[in-house]
Amino acid sequence: MKVMVIQGPNLNMLGIREQQIYGAMKLEEIHTQMKAFADANGMEIEFFQSNLEGELVDKIQECLGEADGIIINAGAYTHTSIAIRDAIAAVQLPTIEVHLSNVYRREEFRQKSMIAPVCAGVITGFGPFSYHLAMVAMNQIFQEIKAIKAQQQQQQQA
């Protein structure tokens, strides 16, 4: 099964920007760790990052028929983008929202997610480990989907 990891604005600046909030690890290092987890668990993984809202919407839509699940850190668009929310809802793929920082310990405007209601779950506040937790959660979702499909096939054969 394939997971698409979508990274929003300013995440390309990880390791440089506000290290006291986001840490010193670069995005490429996070992706390397995610790829290792995917390989160890028989998952395919692809990465995409953009600072542009429309490109994020396009990538989410492209996941339809190309991916089995999405892990997304929409960055600041998390709090403002109805377009990203609508794209996630439209593709109907299991989606996990991820944040490095604990958004509930930050500014009030960061405490409201537009996309959380259309996601399977939200992982926030564990730094780069948030992405590992998202991979564990997505793997679990994939295992549940496989089990349901196997059960449906057994019922059809009976």
Percent of the chain surpassing pLDDT 90 = 84
Per-residue pLDDT of 61-102, as tens digits, reads: 999 999 999 999 999 999 999 999 999 999 999 999 999 988
Q: What is the CATH number of the domain that holds 57?
A: 3.40.50.9100
| Whole-Å CA distances, 144 to 43, 94, 112 | 14, 11, 29
Distance separating alpha carbons of residues 78 and 85, to the nearest angstrom: 8
| Whole-Å CA distances, 60 to 79, 88, 89, 139 | 17, 7, 10, 19
Predicted TM-score (pTM) of the model is 0.93
**Which are the catalytic amino acids?**
22, 99
Count of domains in the chain?
Answer: 1
Mean pLDDT for the chain overall? 94
Per the structure, the complete domain to which residue 68 belongs is given by 2-157
Q: What confidence tier does 27 reach under pLDDT thresholds 50, 70, 90? A: very high
